[in-house]
Amino acid sequence: MAGFFVTFINLLFQVLLFAILGRVIVSWIDPMGNMRVTQILRELTEPILAPIRSVLPTMGMIDLSPLVALLLLQLLQSLIMRAI
């Protein structure tokens, strides 16, 4: 049972990491967010990125919240894996 839990946690974090990376890449292709893929990625990642974006100072047109989110997710994943 512990092996299933570890696999599930790793998979969950990998999906979130790839969703954030995908959102960054798709934002260059579809900055207006009209494509369905962009909308799905926004719905998946906005609950993670919005709180970070509200804390970070604005840097003009550069959004550093995906970078901070990736670092925090990797830190959280390693902490959870150590605890298990």
3-class DSSP string for the chain = CHHHHHHHHHHHHHHHHHHHHHHHHHHHHCCCCCCHHHHHHHHHHHHHHHHHHHHCCCECCECCHHHHHHHHHHHHHHHHHHHC
Residue 6 Cα to chain centre, angstroms = 19
As a whole number of Å, the CA-based R_g of the chain is 14
In this predicted structure, what is the pLDDT of residue 65?
94
pLDDT by residue (tens digit) across 36-81?
Answer: 999 999 999 999 999 999 999 888 888 899 999 999 999 999 999 9
For residue 48, what pLDDT is reported? 95
Residue 57 pLDDT? 87
31 pLDDT tier (thresholds 50, 70, 90): confident
